Amino acid sequence: MRKIAIALVMLAGSVCAFGQKPCATATAECEQWVMLGGGPSRAMVYSSYSLTTPNANVHRALVMVHGTNRNADHYFETALGAAFLAGAMSDTVVIAPALHSDEGNCKDKLQPHEVSWSCGGDSWRSGGVAASDKKLTSFDFVDELLRRLADKKVFPNLTLIVVAGHSAGGQFVARYAMANRVQESLTGVAVSYVVANPSSYAWPDATRVLPVNDGAPANAVLEWKDEVVHTNYSFGPFADAAKTPKYDLWPYGLEGRKTGYTAGMSDELLKKQLVARKITYLYGQVDTLPLGGFDGSPEAMAQGVTRRARGEAYVKYIHDTLGATSVAMIVPECGHNDRCIYTTNEVWQLIFPKY
């Protein structure tokens, strides 16, 4: 992790509160507030450039979604470090939205009118209804960010947006990629998604991976030994459906979507968008241990015994059954660590694509 530490030290000397230079620290100087639903509800982002001041130098945007600890500051620094190492600071606006919550076990200190996002069940990870404003969902927040980035009055030369996330942020991005309703309305802007090391997925039907071959627990936990994407997975009816009756309910499957952003969207539309959109799935080579907020619920375990095996099986299934062309990639020597994943040379071309 030495390379990102050096990058962050160098960036700390170039802080600029939305001037010609990028704002490059996770402090108040780089905070901006986004009004939602016509106000007064609002949510905070860290951003390397102003979202309201015209900037012809910006050609692409990276929106980096935090993990389960809702630590947008950490993820802003991760994204900034990656941008610095990739030489993308001057032409990329880096944004880290903060999905704060003071609901249940989540105890974030909120600012006046700041939205408190749902922290359990159909939560902020899956487009759930906000705890403090029932008119809003967490996916509405990123919808608004994408609309702002596509505003040619502010970013006349921006043509590429990448929405990325790791762990719980990876869950958010995986579901947002299949669900969002704004992508096709963004004139002259291409959107892609980079999903890293999530604990679970919204499976497109009630089928699940079978515990044989690469899906066998004894084999899945040993995948750390190599750097190739495993594909020897088989699928069929979930054997423990009677013991785990909620295994196919949203956000683990598509059933039961009665509230939140996806309520009213058909299964077919979600699957169509999942296939049509440009999604890359990243898996740490050694992310085979139940660490870092690993979802060990029966619903998640129905998808496999490790994050890496769950992801490989999911990608194979949507390729084989839906015709998806999304890409899966193993990031060598990385575990469940966002900075290792996103500051790896091979990943730069995904989060900072050529324009």
Question: Mean pLDDT over all residues of the chain?
Answer: 95
With H, G, I as helix, E, B as strand and everything else as coil, classify residue 224: helix
Between 290 and 15, where is the model more confident?
290
End-to-end Cα separation, the chain, in angstroms: 29
Residues pairing with 164 in the sheet:
64, 194
DSSP alpha helix (H) spans, the chain: 2-12, 72-85, 138-149, 168-179, 217-220, 267-276, 298-301, 307-322, 338-342, 345-351
Beta-bridge partners for 285 = none
> Distance between CA atoms of 59 and 354, rounded to whole angstroms?
9
Residues 8-12 have a mean pLDDT of 50
Q: Any idea of the CA torsion for 302, 290, 315, 60, to the nearest 10 degrees?
A: 140
pLDDT of 11 above 80: no
- pLDDT tens digits for 154-179? 999 999 999 999 999 999 999 999 99
Q: What is the pTM of this model?
A: 0.95
Question: What pLDDT digit, counting tens, does each position of 323-341 carry?
Answer: 999 999 999 999 999 999 9
Predicted confidence (pLDDT) per residue in 186-223, tens digit: 999 999 999 999 999 999 999 999 999 999 999 999 99
- Average pLDDT, stretch 251-280? 98
pLDDT above 90 coverage of the chain, percent = 93
**Higher local confidence (pLDDT), 4 or 82:** 82
State the Cα–Cα distance between residues 82 and 88, nearest whole angstrom: 8
